[in-house]
Structure 1
Amino acid sequence: MKWRRSAAVSDAALAADSVLRLSVLLRAGVAPLRAWTYLADAGDPIAERVRSVLAAGADPRAVFADAGDPWPDVGAAWRVATTVGAPLAGSLHDVAEALRDGQQAADEVRVALAEPAATARLMSWLPLVAVGLGVALGFDTLAVASNPVGMVCLALGAALIVASRQWSAALVRRAQPAPGVPGMDAELTAIALGGGVSIERARALVREARPEDAGGDVDRALALSRSAGVPAIDLLRSTAWLARHRSRTEGRLRAASLSSRLLLPLGVCTLPAFLLLGVAPMMLSIFSSGVLAI
């Protein structure tokens, strides 16, 4: 099976599939170098690079870091698991499931954002459609460019179109899900604790492997574990799941509010541009032709 990228398959989905296959091979007793070789033979480009580095006896962290999201998280899990001696197959399986869950949440948000974003792009062409409509109806709307008032209308209308598109694009960008997989810090800490190290050592390893570790939810889960006397690993895994669930819910809420927010550039920029580029040239064309002359 060759690994082919399509519009429907994201980098995160491909990475999750690769990591899951890797964990299955490792669980079956295949050595890490041999497991990466099998994936490389199947056409996975990242696996080929990792295999070459491992064959040379080097650390593959640089390969993971350069591969782009979400491979740095996979590299962090690999580093933490190998450092503490946690089961590599189980650790990678957990990371693969986290990647799949996080990607599913991000895809749901993008699908929800697709409709309002497409509507905004469609409405931004409305003023130019008005110009074409005026020409189709027989109005000499393009000739008004020689009129000072017409020139002002055309300049303002063009500026409003640009402003509307940029404003709408900014609103859509802010509604997009944040990069990365929510809850990965908790997943990595659970992997470290699964290797039998102390909580302090586990947190230090995760921060070293993943410098962007925020740690707020993780620290609260560990504090609850100490005060309640319950297993920290289970609490951390539930914390990671809740972080992804919260990200999915917040993304859907952003998508729902985007439709109403996109009405602002529509009312402030697109509709005035429609009047300036569509209606105003028609009126100027009528007046210049003397139709309304007394």
Structure 2
Amino acid sequence: MVMRQKSFLGLSPAGFHNIAYTEWGDPTASRTIVCCHGLTRNGRDFDALATRLAKHARVICPDIVGRGRSDWLRDAAHYAYPQYCADMNALIARLDISELDWVGTSMGGLIGMTLAAQVGTPIRRLVVNDVGPFVPKTALLRISDYVGLDNRFSSLKAVETHLRKVLAPFGPLTDAQWQHLVAHGHRQRSDGTFGLAYDPAIAINVKMAVQDWDLWPVWDRINVPTLVLRGAESDLLLPQTAEEMTQRGPRAKLVTWPGMGHAPALMAPDQIGLIEEWLTAN
């Protein structure tokens, strides 16, 4: 499957910034699927999923600003959902489409929820991976403990050891899958050491917002078919929240996977197959 790396310009109050994305599949396909990653990750997390979905649609996997190959913002105060949503709106305009499906993990799921809740949303179907309209303070405390640390690693093996620890809730992954996360989840510094592929300053607003998040008014405005995925041991999408998501708003379909927490990596064949089947049902 041919992969194309592209970019476009986003705009913050501090000026323009470059946003990278990966495109898979036929660029003239009648359907488009956007896959949006979690807080510290990047669009290459979706390579396996995108390869499968590209049989049916053009698949777009952006690096949210401050992550992956995208620029870092000049003013870290703008690492927030209004900026992320504005950038994704610019991406939709760039793609010249009036309708799309959205697959979002954690932060990417919250961006998708926000866009889907808007009047006249172009989102046709929504997949939300291990996040919901209630985010508990305890989960945000855990995340704030490691996000934003300006880690320096002596080797890629040390990067892998770190990622295997902090991303253990992703679930059981093969050695090749861990190596894929490392390959696209690191940056080499000028002194020869390695860091993670995101701006540590993305943590500033996260640490300032460590409290329970109540986003039920957003959820209740969503009126598109929605699939919610959850790791059975997730501390971010609690079981009672997930169950209530099936009763309110879009009355989502819920699938829970055992043996993983926040958030399922969406790399396993059964996970990919489920998403493919649901998105292509009609």
Indicate the structure with greater helix content: 1
Note whether the superposition's TM-score is higher than 0.5.
no
TM-score (norm 1): 0.28
State which structure, 1 or 2, has the greater radius of gyration over its C-alpha atoms. 1
Indicate the structure with greater strand content: 2
Instruction: Name the structure, 1 or 2, with higher relative contact order (CA <8 Å, separation 6+).
Output: 1
TM-score (norm 2): 0.29
